[in-house]
Each structure stands twice: as structure tokens, then as C-alpha cells.
Amino acid sequence: MEKLDYAAQDKWPRVSGNMQSPIALSDDLVVKNDFQTALSFNYNHIANYVRDTGAGIEVGLKGQAQLGNRPFSLKQFHIHTPSEHTINQQSYDAEIHFVHEAIDGRLAVVAAVVRAGNASATYDAVLQHMNETTNFEIPVNDIIPEDKEYYHYIGSLTTPPLTENVEWYVLKTPVTLSQEQIANLMIFYSHNNRDLQSLNDRTIVSSN
Amino acid sequence: MEKLDYAAQDKWPRVSGNMQSPIALSDDLVVKNDFQTALSFNYNHIANYVRDTGAGIEVGLKGQAQLGNRPFSLKQFHIHTPSEHTINQQSYDAEIHFVHEAIDGRLAVVAAVVRAGNASATYDAVLQHMNETTNFEIPVNDIIPEDKEYYHYIGSLTTPPLTENVEWYVLKTPVTLSQEQIANLMIFYSHNNRDLQSLNDRTIVSSN
């Protein structure tokens, strides 16, 4: 047995980059969860900015959420087109990321995939206030599905700095934008989804 | 506003290495926690191996713990001399790390700092079974303080691969080994504590 060299700590190998997002989610890969961790959301209905960050359209919305049995604060939400995660080999038209932070700095992202269907009043409000810094009302509830079953795994931010400390909660039930709204969204970004990353030895947990 | 180049994803910068352990814990730095997350432990009283890993003396002990409102499984505990974390500028004679994993792969380490005082029956049992792979009884309760107030932050493993996905719960109340036990422990490792790492922009949370 070779002893670890505490006199050469600056030479110790440091592993990172093996827990990146997005990933291909699949029911074939999941481990069922064995404790109750229902997600709940208490988001504001007043947003305070819409901006194009260069990585996507981002909306300033605050609020609270209970994720994995702990309180988190919503920082903002933003939209990727098409979806970043795939679910059972299926890609979606878009993916909305609700970015949260806990008191200890832990980041958690709730993702809602989007398919074409009914128009979203929230998206209309966002579009009307594009590049404005002003308070405006949004319903929000039309971009969060009623059924909050989810896939959970530990991954990363999907844009630089790609920080690997992120809890992901990808909602299984899609929400909808109209075909027209999706086409409008793609005027801003036709392709701001990061490539799928390797799962490596991570576990995907399912809420049911 | 420059758009993020999705055609050159392999060139995106990836930040890591800013959330390493151990750190200098200090009451001057902490943010008080605003929700109840008492720690509870239900560890076995039968261990199944003691080995010198090259980084320290490690004991095979399983069990369950509730950490940050979620269930974790104990994988093993091991000992560093002297302590790795400091608490209010104070170093301790040793530090015991209880390493846990959750169903999603999340790692959490509970640390108990050690000062000289009463002898530990647990340490005696460990010493008697050094380098054995056999079941033996250990009390365990004498290396976990009764008062379970803690400092919490997000850091890393303190030995390679130094993985940055680790929740730390450093117990505020020291446990004790006798002077003789500490001297014995230092025959194996006189100095297997990693250097203090920078806090950077992390938050330290206190349980009370």
C-alpha cells in the first residue's frame, strides 16, 4: 500500500467534468425513489425583466420552491430551443429552465419540456416585454405542468461556466406553446441546446 | 450582446476547483439557517473491516443518516490527524469523517473533530481489528457528540479525486480520544490533513 503524499498536495489529481448536462433521460435507466420528495412551487406572478443573455431569452422572476425536501429560491427562468434533455429518445420543441439557489449555494434547475399545442399566455407576456426592465404580470402556471412527476439526477449548468453542482428535476409532462409561439421563439434562437453529455456512472432517479 | 457559439461547444470554458475542502470555519462567516435540518444517525454497531488505505485508517461501517432533510447511507468512516477543518482558528488533534451517499449519488460527509480527553471504546475496538476483514462490535456513540449542532457548506473530498459534489456537516462539539489513543493513531499517520482551501464565494451555514 503506497501512502498518499501529503508533502506534494499540489500534485494530487483532481477529477471533474464527469457530471455534465444535459443527458438522455430514459425510463430504462431510472432507479425508483424510495422517499417522498414531491416538488412544490410558489412563484411570484410579477416578473421584472426580459433579456436576451446571448445564451437565450431570460425572464426575471422570483419565488420559492420546495425541491428534494429543501427550500430553494427562484432566480430566473430561460428557454432553450429545441429541448436540451431528451426523454425516452424524444426531443421536444423547447425546454424551460427554472434556476433556483438554496441558502448554502446549492443550485437546482427545474426543467419543463415544451411541445406544440395551446398558446401560452406567459410566453405572450414575455414577448410583449422583450428587452424591457419593468414589472409585468405573468400567469406562470401555464409553463409548469399540473402533474409534477420528474426525473432527478446531479448534473451541471448547460452554458459556461458549466458548474457541476446542480440538482436537476426534469418534469415528465410537457407544457405547450402554440406553433406560432414556437416559431417566434426560434427567431431569437433556432438552436441553443447543448449537446447531450455522457451519463458516466450517475444515477437517474424517478419520482414515481 | 455576443451570442454564445453553439457550433463550438468543445471550446466553452468549464470552471471547477473553486469549491474544495477543508476550509477554515468561523462563526464570523456563517449565515444562520432558516429551516429545521437536524441531523440524525442510525448507524450499525457491527463494523466489518479496518484498513489502512494509504490516506488514513478506514473502518467499514454501514447505517443510515438523515442529513439536510434527506436520507443518506453510511459507506465508511476514516480518521485524519490532525484535524482538516479549523473552527474559529482552532485546529484539533484529529477529525473523523463519516462518508455518506444518497440514492442520487450525492455525497455527504459528517465530520467530528477530536480533542484529548476520555478514551474511546470505539477506537480501542478499531485498533484491535487493524487490517482485519471480520465483523466486530463498536459502540460508535462515543465518536459522535450528543450535541449535533453543525456548520454546513458545499465542498469536496479531501483526498484524490477531490470530487466537488460533497455536502459537509462539521459538528461543532468535539468528541474525545485519550492522549494515549491519539499518540497511537499518530503512529499510523502523523500528518494526513489536507491544507486549508479558499472559501471563495461559498456560504457557510450554521444550524443554530
A71-121 pLDDT, tens per residue? 999 999 999 999 999 999 999 999 999 999 999 999 999 999 999 999 999
Q: Can you give the pLDDT at residue A31? A: 83
Mean pLDDT of A29-56: 89
Q: Can you give the pLDDT at residue A208? A: 77
Given an 8 Å threshold on Cβ–Cβ distance, is A104 in contact with B69?
A: no
Q: Does A14 touch chain B (CB under 8 A)?
A: yes
Chain B environment of A162 (Cβ under 8 Å): 12-15
b/e code B87-96 from CB counts within 10 Å (16+ = b): beeeebbbbb
Rounded distance between C-alpha atoms, residue A31 and residue A18, angstroms: 19
Asked if pLDDT for residue A34 goes beyond 70, the answer is no
Q: How confident is the model at residue A59 (pLDDT cuts 50, 70, 90)?
A: very high
Given an 8 Å threshold on Cβ–Cβ distance, is B1 in contact with A52?
A: yes
Mean pLDDT of A34-51: 90
Given an 8 Å threshold on Cβ–Cβ distance, is A105 in contact with B202?
A: yes
Asked if pLDDT for residue A127 goes beyond 90, the answer is yes
| Domains located in chain B, CATH noted | 39-206 (3.10.200.10)
Chain A environment of B4 (Cβ under 8 Å): 54-55, 159-160, 192
Given an 8 Å threshold on Cβ–Cβ distance, is B152 in contact with A16?
A: no
Tell me which chain B residue has its CA closest to the CA of residue A154. B104
Q: How confident is the model at residue A39 (pLDDT cuts 50, 70, 90)?
A: very high
Q: Does A173 touch chain B (CB under 8 A)?
A: no
The ipTM estimated for the assembled molecules is 0.91
Three-class DSSP labels, chain B: CCCCCHHHHHHCCCCCCCCCCCCEECCCCEEECCCCCCCEEEECCEECEEEECCCCEEEECCEEEEECCEEEEEEEEEEECCCCCEECCECCCEEEEEEEECCCCCEEEEEEEEEECCCCHHHHHHHHCCCCCCCEECCCHHHCCCCCCEEEEEECCCCCCCCCCEEEEEECCCEEECHHHHHHHHHHCCCCCCCCCCCCCCCEEECC
DSSP state of A93: S
Q: Does B10 touch chain A (CB under 8 A)?
A: no
Given an 8 Å threshold on Cβ–Cβ distance, is A193 in contact with B54?
A: no
Q: Does A200 touch chain B (CB under 8 A)?
A: no
Rounded distance between C-alpha atoms, residue A92 and residue A185, angstroms: 14
Q: Does B4 touch chain A (CB under 8 A)?
A: yes
Low-confidence ranges of chain B (pLDDT < 70): 33-36
CA distance A204 to chain B (A): 7
Chain A environment of B197 (Cβ under 8 Å): none
CA distance B201 to chain A (A): 9
Given an 8 Å threshold on Cβ–Cβ distance, is B54 in contact with A2?
A: yes
Strand partners, A32: A206
Given an 8 Å threshold on Cβ–Cβ distance, is A6 in contact with B37?
A: no
Rounded distance between C-alpha atoms, residue B4 and residue A191, angstroms: 11
DSSP state of A4: P
Given an 8 Å threshold on Cβ–Cβ distance, is A203 in contact with B105?
A: yes
Q: Can you give the pLDDT at residue B30? A: 87
Asked if pLDDT for residue A163 goes beyond 80, the answer is yes
CA distance A25 to chain B (A): 14
Express each pLDDT in B61-82 by its tens digit: 999 999 999 999 999 999 999 9
CA distance A141 to chain B (A): 27
Q: Does A139 touch chain B (CB under 8 A)?
A: no
Interface of B with A in 66-125 (CB under 8 A): 68-71, 103-106
Rounded distance between C-alpha atoms, residue B28 and residue B151, angstroms: 12
How far CA B58 is from CA of A12, B48, B106, in Å, comes to: 20, 11, 20
Given an 8 Å threshold on Cβ–Cβ distance, is B70 in contact with A35?
A: yes
Given an 8 Å threshold on Cβ–Cβ distance, is A54 in contact with B14?
A: no
Q: Label residue B16 left, alpha or beta by phi (over 0 means left) and psi (-120 to 50 means alpha).
A: beta
